[in-house]
Structure 1
Amino acid sequence: MSQPQHSDLIRLVDVAKRLPKLAVKLPNIAMGLSQAYLRTPKTPAGLALAFERAVKRNPKGTALLFEEQKYSYTELNEWANQIAHLYLDQGVKKGDVIAVIIENRSELVATTLALAKIGVIAALVNTSQTGKVLTHSVNLVKPVAVIVGEECRKAVDTVRDSLSVAQDQFYWFADQQTRQDAGEEPKQYTNLAKKIKEYSKDNPNETHHVAGQDGLFYIYTSGTTGLPKAVIFSNSRWMLAYGTYGHVLNLNKDDVMYVTLPLYHATGMVVCWCGVIAGSSALAIRRKFSTSCFWTDVQKHNASAIGYVGELCRYLMDAPESPNDRKHRVTKMIGNGMRPNIWDGFKQRFGIEEVLELYASSEGNVGFSNVFNFNNTVGFSPVPFSIIQYDKEKDQPVRDSKGHCIKVKKGETGLLIGKITHRSPFDGYTDPEKNKSSIMHDVFKKGDSYFNTGDLVRDIGFRHAQFVDRLGDTFRWKGENVSTTEVENICSDYEKISEAVVYGVEIPNTNGRAGMAAITLKENTTLDDEDLVKMAAAFKSELPPYAVPVFLRVQEKIETTGTFKYQKSKLKEEAFYPDKTSDRLLILLPNSDRYCDITPEILSNIEHYKYRF
């Protein structure tokens, strides 16, 4: 992110000007905050109870739209209840885990709601995962069952024998409108849509025994040790999002939220859907984002709000201008990662009045939301946090002579940390060691504890921040966090590669950082034309599309520090520019099935934004 303009810094007068518009929302926000904070961990709370209250408020209103499918709040609730009663009959109990591997469609929403109703934790597996990564993600959370959409069955069947799940606990949904036609299941799967028909449509009593402290989802985040981490998302944390983001959005029964974000991520599943439930509104989903179909779908579903990540906004801005750009009633959007250089232009082109940019992480305890509707900020945070000085060269916070951290001044950039309190707890990971490394102690005084977000942000005043960059061994590309170690492991599996170092590099006019791998080859080997095809195929088969390295740098030897750490800062700085290194540089161009050498023409095209990465 570029340095802030003076206008980005927020003054008291700027806040005062926004208060009249915010005042209209205050009753709704106050109600939301009371639900978010006035509870104990043992109080009944969460997604299922909130949804059942929405059913009472708007029983005949539309709850879910997908393609040509439409479900009222009552219909979706009854569908979820049947799934819930089936699993209760199977002996599944609160605290058990079921892995859910279904793309964005109605069956995913109904299933997630069903499991929430009985206190079963839905492990929302990334549907792009295959091979070793998929096996790891499922086995990590020790599920008692797996629910698979037909569209993901091939990936599951490939690793099925490696999954620690009883063979009779694999359930299946046909890739069609299963409420009308359950379809015929493949061998070794139970047809869930067919099986639930005999079960009750009534709300299960178990919902009232699901408390805030109970787990709701496992959401996967990239870990620094290579494979995904499963982050527990409790019902209490869901209520916090529901009471804050959900009510600030201020939707009502006539509103429709259009979401193309993957629902295995918190932005779509938690932030967008909780805003819909808070308003008893409709959730319209699409299987995968499409630039060309976006505004057509918005019109089709009569959407009034959209969910976004920064990459999505860039794709929409890159598309040729069209009459459809404003032929809609969308005035609000909620999400994260909007680039400052397109923020105002996006609002002007598409007629957006309110950008509810937010900052949160699946595992963290600090969140921001743009309640005052300023440009170029992740917004305001009501929870205790600090932004501290950070030495990027030494890769550690700056401490004073007493060993205490030092807060940055207004306008400066530093490491964001969230204070751990009973109101803002750290729910953490499944891995205790990862939890330890994420907590900082004795930050400002002896005995205090803070969660280390690993993110650099800028303090722009009045408890507002701008996101700047991520630290550590992850980077963000195409709206996803990429684990460098995971990609390094896959690259190193290729027969001619002895070692790989992966890092993110910036491509002009794109969001986030594209993956680049500096590789060393095994002794007496070279890369020929066949390798350039085989490597691309191998990486694509083992990695999600967003994690496949866009660039390769072939080195004779990888430089390390005196403590044997890779010198990634130098690699990032030299990036993919031939004038900065004599190493061979390769690129996987969009829609290509092979790596090719970076030529002056290709470099010029990259710099002039001729490729759509």
Structure 2
Amino acid sequence: MPTYGWPVTAGLTTADLLAARADDPHPGLLFADQRYSWAEIVAAGRRRAALASELRRPGPFHIGVLLDNTPEYLFWLVASALAGAVTVGINPTRRGAQLAGDIRHVDCQLIITDGAHRRLLDGLDTGVPAERVLEVDRDRYRTLLAAQDGLARSDARIEPATPMLLMFTSGSTGAPKAVVCGQGRFAAAAGYMTGRLGLGRDDVAYNAMPMFHGNALMACWAPMLASGGTWALRDRFSASGFLPDVRRFGATFANYVGRALAYILATPERPDDADNSLRLVYGTEAADKDLAEFPRRFGCECLEGYGSSEGPIAIGKLPGTPPGALGLPTSESDVAVLDPETGSECPRVRFGPHGEIVNPEAIGELVRRDSGFVFEGYYRNPAATAERLRNGWYWSGDLTYRDEAGYFYFAGRGNDWLRVDSENFAAAPVEHILARQPGVLVVAVFPVPDAHTGDQVMAAVELEPGARFDPEAFEAFLAAQSDLGTKWSPRFVRVVARMPLTPTNKLDKKPLRAQAWECTDPVWWRPAPGEALRLVTEQDRSALREALAANGRAHLLSGAPS
């Protein structure tokens, strides 16, 4: 089986990579109309490292950063790496008790924020005293920073195992968890991604993904740090701003997560869209049709990979990867698809004459079984860490299947199982089919409770601008899909104005599952097999609730109109 390895220098740390850039005059950061050399970035990081060391107190040296993507965010990331501290990326879309709980959980000594984000903390018990919340747009901060020696160096002893980041997971399947990432792992990712993507000093890597997430840092900034290339940064993702930014910065590379490509493609097409500097985009979880359409429209290559903030499993596409497949493991590792109940390996998938999955028992959990991986765990969450490390193996929590040639396919998250009429199947293959329908921008498939037993299939669709949902056309489309399983057709279809997404543009199915048909969006349903789809009425909703209650299943429906 072909693989490609990790060009890792043993013992290398992120601090070592930064030291190599300390006198580098090459542009390292572009932001709006601002421009910083690598030497200026490292110098700015050293000043902040000196300030952090001066303000350090006993306990974990954790520095929370509550900012949009800005130069200050990057300077504090550099500062933490140089000082032996840990950058905690705080999700600015969280609110209230959830935000306070996130911050308390990770034991921050300092919080770096600005006036706009500081208001999010008002009245919250974060465990961080007010005087240790530094606002970068205030005179006090500028005074503190000016007092530091611009060439100050930390005397911290930094090793590859020294923690560098706490990265919250996306929360697409449950409460976010703080993944530990050490200096050595980050430096290894920098070396690997540089070679994997073929990036060098002349490249400009454009990032609009949030910096509190691993994709922005490990798939975009890290290879620029390793190669000495230039990082072009936008404060937050904008579909309409993507192409103008690429042209303004001269970007040759861009990263993405989730449905970002779909939203860029939904912007009005122009004849000169391919007239740009972009050579490659890289990311994860884009729909097959978007991966095909993006290169045509923008004249660049699209490269997909599978990975996570936790790090032990990486899968990427190689030439010859079948359509729809994730690809092959990116190192000599023992990665398999296992039955989560028995721990035995699932059979290889068999496809029927129309590409349908013949043996759904081929779907299981993606697991790494050798001992060569690094997983530093979830901070202060031993139960979640233990759930990932069972029997000495790394269990990803993601559903996959594998074909006879060894290629892996994504089938959904761990809670994306559906059971309809005693048949088990996963959501992602159904989503892939529904996404083919013209006019569909984003689709999510999830289970809702059947009145008697098991589940029924529900789909939420966000349509392209100007499109409308036509139930008859939808029924005709389903009938024409030869690889659609006999139990896979949605009984309910919810048409949403905007699909709920995590801050990293991944589908957030939790509110969809919780609400089911109890929502203000139009919901179409098939009252009985063979009947045509029609709009759900309030009378229908009452009847559905009563049927669930009559069978002792009302507790399975927790949603309410939103």
TM over 0.5: yes
Aligned twin of 2:130: 167
* Matched AA of 1:582: D
Aligned equivalents of 1:407, 1:453: Cα separation in 2: 18
The equivalent position to 1:245 in structure 2, one of 177, 193, 202, is 193
Q: Helix, strand or coil: the match of 1:325?
A: coil
Aligned twin of 1:414: 364
Superposition pairs of residues 300-311 of structure 1, within 5 angstroms: 300-311=248-259
Aligned twin of 1:465: 408
Task: Name the CA shift for 1:141/1:457 in 2 (closer, same or farther; >3 Å).
Answer: same
Aligned equivalents of 1:377, 1:53: Cα separation in 2: 38
Aligned twin of 2:317: 370
The equivalent position to 1:101 in structure 2, one of 43, 49, 66, is 66
Aligned twin of 2:234: 286
Aligned twin of 1:549: 511
Give the C-alpha shift of residue 196 in structure 1: 1.2
Aligned twin of 1:195: 144
Counterpart contact for 2:86–2:163, Cα < 8 Å: yes
Counterpart contact for 2:348–2:404, Cα < 8 Å: no
Question: TM (normalized to structure 1)?
Answer: 0.66
Aligned equivalents of 1:100, 1:513: Cα separation in 2: 32
* Structure number having the greater helix percentage: 1
Are residue 153 (structure 1) and residue 115 (structure 2) matched? Answer: no
Aligned equivalents of 1:301, 1:225: Cα separation in 2: 36
Counterpart contact for 2:209–2:236, Cα < 8 Å: yes
Give the C-alpha shift of residue 549 in structure 1: 3.4
Are residue 128 (structure 1) and residue 93 (structure 2) matched? Answer: yes
Aligned twin of 1:455: 398
Partner deviation per Cα, 1:63-86 (whole Å, 9 max, x = no partner): 111111111101111111100011
The equivalent position to 1:440 in structure 2, one of 390, 411, 417, is 390
Give the C-alpha shift of residue 107 in structure 1: 0.7
Aligned equivalents of 2:238, 2:336: Cα separation in 1: 37
Aligned twin of 1:356: 303
Aligned equivalents of 1:78, 1:155: Cα separation in 2: 30
Aligned equivalents of 2:191, 2:91: Cα separation in 1: 27
* Matched AA of 1:465: F
Counterpart contact for 1:310–1:511, Cα < 8 Å: no
Q: Helix, strand or coil: the match of 1:451?
A: strand
Instruction: State the identity %.
Output: 21
Counterpart contact for 2:173–2:415, Cα < 8 Å: no
Give the C-alpha shift of residue 389 in structure 1: 4.5
Q: Helix, strand or coil: the match of 2:7?
A: helix
Aligned equivalents of 2:443, 2:404: Cα separation in 1: 25
The equivalent position to 2:375 in structure 1, one of 426, 430, 434, is 426
Counterpart contact for 1:130–1:544, Cα < 8 Å: no
Structure 1 range deviating more: 317-326 or 73-82: 317-326
Aligned equivalents of 1:384, 1:138: Cα separation in 2: 35
Aligned equivalents of 2:319, 2:152: Cα separation in 1: 38
Unpaired segments of 5 or more residues in structure 2?
352-361, 419-426, 450-499, 519-532, 545-559
Aligned equivalents of 1:169, 1:514: Cα separation in 2: 44
The equivalent position to 2:20 in structure 1, one of 53, 64, 85, is 53
Aligned equivalents of 2:177, 2:402: Cα separation in 1: 29
Are residue 66 (structure 1) and residue 15 (structure 2) matched? Answer: no
Aligned twin of 1:513: 444
Aligned equivalents of 1:410, 1:473: Cα separation in 2: 21
Are residue 233 (structure 1) and residue 172 (structure 2) matched? Answer: no
Are residue 582 (structure 1) and residue 540 (structure 2) matched? Answer: yes
Counterpart contact for 1:308–1:334, Cα < 8 Å: yes
Give the C-alpha shift of residue 469 in structure 1: 1.1
Q: Helix, strand or coil: the match of 2:386?
A: helix
Task: Name the CA shift for 1:83/1:333 in 2 (closer, same or farther; >3 Å).
Answer: same
Q: Helix, strand or coil: the match of 2:540?
A: coil
Aligned equivalents of 2:442, 2:79: Cα separation in 1: 36
Counterpart contact for 1:515–1:549, Cα < 8 Å: no
Are residue 78 (structure 1) and residue 26 (structure 2) matched? Answer: no
Q: Helix, strand or coil: the match of 1:116?
A: helix
Counterpart contact for 1:65–1:282, Cα < 8 Å: yes
Aligned twin of 1:118: 83
Partner deviation per Cα, 1:112-143 (whole Å, 9 max, x = no partner): 11111111111101111110110010000111
Structure 1 range deviating more: 261-270 or 335-344: 335-344
Q: Helix, strand or coil: the match of 1:327?
A: coil
Aligned twin of 2:7: 33
Counterpart contact for 1:66–1:285, Cα < 8 Å: yes
Question: TM (normalized to structure 2)?
Answer: 0.71
The equivalent position to 2:293 in structure 1, one of 330, 337, 345, is 345
Q: Helix, strand or coil: the match of 1:583?
A: helix
Counterpart contact for 1:295–1:324, Cα < 8 Å: no
Aligned twin of 2:457: none
Unpaired segments of 5 or more residues in structure 1?
1-11, 20-28, 175-182, 185-190, 391-395, 442-448, 476-502, 519-539, 556-575, 586-594, 598-613
* Matched AA of 1:417: V
Give the C-alpha shift of residue 454 in structure 1: 1.2
The equivalent position to 1:322 in structure 2, one of 263, 270, 290, is 270
Aligned equivalents of 1:458, 1:474: Cα separation in 2: 13
* Matched AA of 1:172: E
Partner deviation per Cα, 1:98-121 (whole Å, 9 max, x = no partner): 111111111111111111111111
* Matched AA of 2:106: V
Counterpart contact for 1:221–1:230, Cα < 8 Å: yes
Task: Name the CA shift for 1:192/1:249 in 2 (closer, same or farther; >3 Å).
Answer: farther
Task: Name the CA shift for 1:299/1:152 in 2 (closer, same or farther; >3 Å).
Answer: same
